[in-house]
C-alpha cells in the first residue's frame, strides 16, 4: 500500500540558501543583474543548448531575466560566489513548472565559466536539490535537456538523476527540432543521492591542494 503524501508542499520562497563556497539568493534584477550579464548573459557560447538566448545586448538580457522573476510557477536563484573579497553572482538556477499542490518542480540552470567543473558548482547543485527534496519535502524533481547538450546529460547522471526517456520534437527553436531527455529524482531516492553528495563534498575527500580523492560517480 502506497503512503499518502503530505501535500501541498511549501512554495520555495526562501530568500537565501547558505553554503560553504556559495550561497543561493532569490534572483533580483537590481542586485544581481549586472553580475549575471557579465557571467552568463554576455557569453553566447553558453546558450547553444538552452531554449533562451543568446542576447544581443545587456538590455535584452535584462528584459529576458526580468520577465522570469516574480512568476508564481517559477523561482530563480542567483548563485553567489563568496570565496573572494566580495559576493558575486556567477550563475543562475531556475525552478520551473512549480507545483506545490503535487510536490513537483523542474530544475534548470546556466553556469558561468567560473562554476564549470568546480567544487562550488557541485555544491550549488546540492544545496538547491537539498532545499527542494530534503528541506521542503518535494516528491519529484525533474531535469530536462536536449540529447545534444552533452554537458547537461553528463551533469544529470553525475548528480544522481534517473533517465526516464526522450520526448521527440517537443520544440522548434533556433532553426531546428528539439528533442527533450527527461531525468528525475524522487523523494524515495533522495536520501541515498544526498548522502553521495555529502560524502563527496566532505573536506576529507580533498587533498591539501584541493583535488578530489574520489569522484562523485565513484561514491555509492
The whole-number average pLDDT for the span 90-114 is: 97
Pairing, β 162-173 against β 88-99: unpaired
pTM: 0.96
Quick check: 210 pLDDT over 90?
A: no
Domains, the chain: 16-218 (3.40.630.30)
63 pLDDT tier (thresholds 50, 70, 90) = very high
CA distance 197 to 159: 8
The whole-number average pLDDT for the span 99-121 is: 95
Order across the sheet with 104-111: list the strands. 16-18, 22-26, 75-81, 88-99, 104-111, 140-145, 176-186, 162-173
Percentage of the chain lying above the pLDDT 90 cut: 93
CA distance 69 to 23: 18
Amino acid at each position: 500500500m502506497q503512503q499518502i503524501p503530505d501535500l501541498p508542499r511549501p512554495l520555495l520562497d526562501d530568500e537565501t540558501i547558505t553554503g560553504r563556497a556559495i550561497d543561493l539568493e532569490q534572483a533580483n534584477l537590481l542586485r544581481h543583474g549586472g553580475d549575471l550579464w557579465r557571467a552568463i548573459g554576455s557569453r553566447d557560447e553558453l546558450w547553444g543548448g538552452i531554449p533562451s538566448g543568446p542576447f544581443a545586448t545587456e538590455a535584452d538580457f535584462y528584459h529576458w531575466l526580468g520577465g522570469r522573476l516574480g512568476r508564481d510557477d517559477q523561482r530563480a536563484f542567483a548563485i553567489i560566489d563568496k570565496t573572494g573579497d566580495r559576493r558575486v553572482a556567477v550563475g543562475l538556477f531556475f525552478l520551473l513548472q512549480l507545483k506545490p499542490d503535487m510536490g513537483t518542480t523542474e530544475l534548470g540552470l546556466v553556469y558561468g565559466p567560473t562554476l564549470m567543473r568546480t567544487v562550488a558548482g557541485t555544491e550549488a547543485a546540492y544545496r538547491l536539490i537539498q532545499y527542494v527534496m530534503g528541506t521542503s519535502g518535494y516528491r519529484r524533481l525533474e531535469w530536462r535537456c536536449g540529447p545534444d547538450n552533452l554537458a547537461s546529460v553528463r551533469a544529470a547522471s553525475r548528480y544522481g538523476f534517473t533517465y526516464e526517456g526522450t520526448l521527440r520534437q517537443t520544440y522548434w527553436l533556433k532553426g531546428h527540432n528539439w528533442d527533450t531527455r527527461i531525468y528525475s529524482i524522487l523523494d524515495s531516492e533522495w536520501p541515498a543521492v544526498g548522502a553521495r553528495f555529502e560524502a563527496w563534498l566532505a573536506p576529507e575527500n580533498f587533498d591539501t591542494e584541493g583535488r578530489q580523492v574520489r569522484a562523485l560517480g565513484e561514491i555509492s
